Structure 1
Amino acid sequence: MTSKLSASTTSKTLLILGYVWPEPNSSAAGGHMMSLIQFFLGLGYDITYASPAQQGEHKFDLQKLGVTEISVKLNCGSFDTFVTQLSPDLVLFDRFMLEEQFGWRVSKHCPNAIKILDTEDLHSLRHARQLASKQKRSISADDLNQDLAKREIAAIFRCDLTLVISEYEMALLQQHFAVPAHILCHCPFMLDLEQHSPSSNGFAQRQHFISIGNFRHEPNWDAVLCLKQTIWPLIRKQLPKAELHIYGAYPPPKATQLHNVKQGFLVKGWAVDAKQVMQQARVCLAPLRFGAGLKGKLAEAMWCGTPNVTTTVGAEGMTMGQLWGGYVSEFDTSVDLDSFAQEFATLAVNLYSNATIWHELQMLGYQLIQANFDKRKIQPRLAEQLTTLQHNLPQHRSKNFIGQMLQHHHLKSTQYMSQWIEAKNKHT
């Protein structure tokens, strides 16, 4: 496959080790992974996607793109044979847990392979915010420095390059955790804006509110509960005929039980075409009280011309100098929930009822998407950084002594632990 991104005539091999199998219609992480796959296909890579996870019902068929699919086992020497025979030029770890599990094996058997970590979001940041939210207090430095962060930051240091989706997290990694800039790459959503035109559905053609997000993602479930228990009743008092349509993959019984037609709170479940249902809604609600990374639901809302109401956590890392395509409720985990719900509901009703403001914010959303998430602007920068890395790998690694040190100890400790588990499994 040829590309404008300097695709080479020499065959190159990429191994992606996936935490899950990609489901682009179920989560932003799945969509982002698919954009990375398309990017590397454009660079001429032969791609193998391997994962130890079970395949979900909404899994994308990567073989349609010419990508080889392989199931691999955790703590099993069969991976050593597999990766040695594949001999990849580049290995992409989907989230730090996969680097922990397979990184030492890749380094041992394919020492010259470039190792890239795709964080998706900083799991340690999300966890720290969730903890603070449950305890109704502001996040502290001690929260950020928990064991999960030590594992995640160590994986970042051990890799040659880490893809960071959020501008905020780029700054956090460098300023709080002292991660060198040369092993980081800001890689936000890479949207194919050439294949998209603004929605023809205007203010008058749209109705109702929408909230969307994978139910397996804890921040999304928390947002649904927040809507049900505090925000939606306040909106419904002022807009008694309005409905809130809740979409998301894998809704558990505790979510479907919230469905209530009389209250206008409708749990729809998985959307076959998320863009279609988003373009029919007038306002997107995302009362996210904790989380990290970028919010795919909000990027999709703005891409579909649907203004939103969200929180500072929801909008974090997405503006990059642009004005927001909706309303942002100033939320801190120490804020009283009732006060937050009242402010959020007031903003939602105002946006839903005012056509002039709605159109202004819709245009700001289009402008933000075009400025910040156009793959034609992002992919060349990523390709250039990869090319530089390929041509200067020994020098690049020599400037990362902490990474070398962590790699040395990780190789020993993780190798022996994994081999012990493998031996134990053989005798049980």
Structure 2
Amino acid sequence: MSQPVTTKVLVIGYVWPEPQSSAASGHVMQILDTFLQQGWDITFSSPAGPGEHKADLTALGIREVPIELNNSSFDVFISELAPDIVLFDQFMMEEQFGWRVEKYCPDALRVLETSDLQSLRHARHQRLKDHLKACPDQDDFSALFAPALREEFELMADTDLAKREIAALYRCDLNLMISEVEIELLVEQFGLPRQLLHWCPLMIAPPTTATKAFEERAHFLSIGNFRHAPNWDAVLWMKSTIWPLIRQQLPHAQLHIYGAYTPPKATALHNAAQGFHVMNWAEDALQVMSDARICLAPLRFGAGIKGKLVDAMLCGTPSVTTPIGAEGMHGDLPWPGAVTHTTTEFANQAVQLYKDKARWQAAQKAGDHLLGERYQRIVHGPALIEKLRYCQEHLTALRNNNFTGSMLRHHMHKSTQYMSQWIEVKNQKT
């Protein structure tokens, strides 16, 4: 009796996953785990060098194959591998390798894991810079936090990054979106067909141990990779205005800031006398989150959803954030802590939540409920597999219905072909 054919998956990563350093890598690992549970054959490739906290994929049964940009050796590699599914981790990998996948594995299902809409994050960053330049001492950031989707579109539409990113989304057969808000932005404003987008948020297994009680916890915590611009801006905002306001009301309060790849500019902010502690990388992020009473996430720009805030719920730690931090995360359910618009409001809510046991416990319960309603691995894992299988079975029809994507793939393939021919002729003349 013949054995069933195993689905072969090639993942092309912008970086090698570091789940202890970033939520984006954590999401990739959740997707890989979902594939492994299906018994799929997985190869992970990346042109990046291994990072300091790289996950050991080989220990999970995943092949690791380094690749290079603009190197024809990739053509031989992918031809011999002949994957059924190619997953691009971030749209730049689709730009770099998508035309080679199209040429050598045209029947492979092309999937893009977006993590977040980078063009949205960058446009919001520019808006914040403009706002701070015009109003450097303003306390209220409401204008940044609640724009209509049409305003976001107008902010993004003329940028080179948005045009590149949207084109990559069209060229793929399926795009994994972590935020429902971003799905609506793409469908309602950019006009992408909804069938190209699949909601795939963080996928969490329920906690196996009881969370610590109010009395067992102390201090405030903030966490996030320092290389991620929204996290660095949050640290600066806390240092300059938020934390001094909290210390006025809680003179002995301590803030512990953890983050991978701590730069000297961050270490220079450490001031024990002010209770402002830059702690570098946390080897066990869930442990330090479980010890803290409150998680602070004062994000003034960004996109996607925030892994640190899901981790806070998982650890039973209430959080104080902004509408940017909470965006796409809780639907119609109450936030497990507070969502604020101003510097003063952020500090006041953090202090009240830190001191009020009953309110703190209510926030903890809200986090438990939110996790169960929106982030269960046993729900989103099977839904992802079902969607991928449907796309494989109906690939021809899906591509026929996505003429814009077919057109963009055609022109990308032709342009790279013409460029290769031009380089060859030039080399012959020289």
TM-score, normalised via structure 1 length: 0.92
Residue 151 (structure 1) aligns with? 164
For residue 352 of structure 2, the aligned residue among 350, 366, 370 is 350
1:264 maps to: 275
**Matched residues in 2 for 1:348 and 1:42: separation?**
41
Q: 1:245 is matched by which residue type in structure 2?
A: H
Give the CA deviation at 1:419: 7.5
1:83-112 C-alpha deviation (Å, 9 max, x unpaired): 001100000000000000000000100000
C-alpha displacement of 1:379 = 1.4
Distance 2:85 2:190 in 1: 26
**TM-aligned CA deviation for residue 321 of structure 1:** 2.6
Tell me the residue number matched to 1:209.
Answer: 220
Residues 384 and 240 of structure 1, relative CA distance in 2, 3 Å threshold: same
1:288 to 299, 305, 309: 299
Residue 410 of structure 1 and its aligned partner are, at CA, apart by: 1.3
Where do residues 190-339 of structure 1 align in structure 2 (5 Å cutoff)?
190-193=203-206, 195-199=207-211, 201-330=212-341
Amino acid at match of 1:298: L
User: How big is the shift at 1:319?
Assistant: 0.5
Partner Cα distance (1:369, 1:288) in 2: 21
The residue number in structure 1 matching 2:16 is: 21
2:216 partner SS: coil
Q: Distance in 1 between matches of 2:47 and 2:263?
A: 23
> In the alignment, which of 385, 396, 399 is matched to residue 397 of structure 1?
399
In structure 2, the residue matched to 1:167 is 180
Relative to structure 2, which stretch is displaced further, 347-356 or 142-151? Answer: 142-151
Aligned-residue identity in percent: 55
Closer/same/farther in 2, CA of residues 307 and 401 from structure 1, 3 Å limit: same
CA positional deviation for 1:385: 1.1
Tell me the secondary structure at the aligned position of residue 262 of structure 1.
helix
- Distance of aligned partners of 1:238 and 1:104 in 2 relative to their CA distance in 1, 3 Å threshold: same
Closer/same/farther in 2, CA of residues 177 and 68 from structure 1, 3 Å limit: same
Structure 1 unaligned regions, length at least 5: 1-7, 331-339
Secondary structure of the equivalent of 2:214? coil
Shift of 1:121: 0.2
Q: Give the Cα–Cα distance (whole angstroms) in 1 for the partners of residues 244 and 402 of structure 2.
A: 54
Answering whether residue 402 of structure 2 is matched by residue 406 of structure 1, we say no
Q: 1:352-371 maps to which residues of 2 (within 5 A)?
A: 352-371=354-373
Structure-1 separation of matches of 2:279 and 2:425: 47
2:384 aligned residue: 382
Take 2:52 and 2:208, find their aligned partners in 1: how far apart are those partners?
A: 27
Distance 2:421 2:252 in 1: 62
1:177–1:425: structure 2 CA closer, same or farther, 3 Å change rule?
farther
- Separation in 2, partners of 1:216, 1:319: 26
Provide TM-score, normalisation by structure 2.
0.92
Distance 1:420 1:319 in 2: 52
CA contact (8 A) 1:75 1:422 kept: no
The 3-state SS of whatever aligns with 2:234 is helix
The alignment covers a number of residue pairs equal to 410
Cα distance in 1 between the residues matched to 2:15 and 2:189? 29
Deviations 1:4-37 (A, max 9, x none): xxxx932121000000000000000111000000
Partner amino acid, structure 2, of 1:239: L
In structure 1, what is the Cα distance between the partners aligned to 2:172 and 2:417?
17
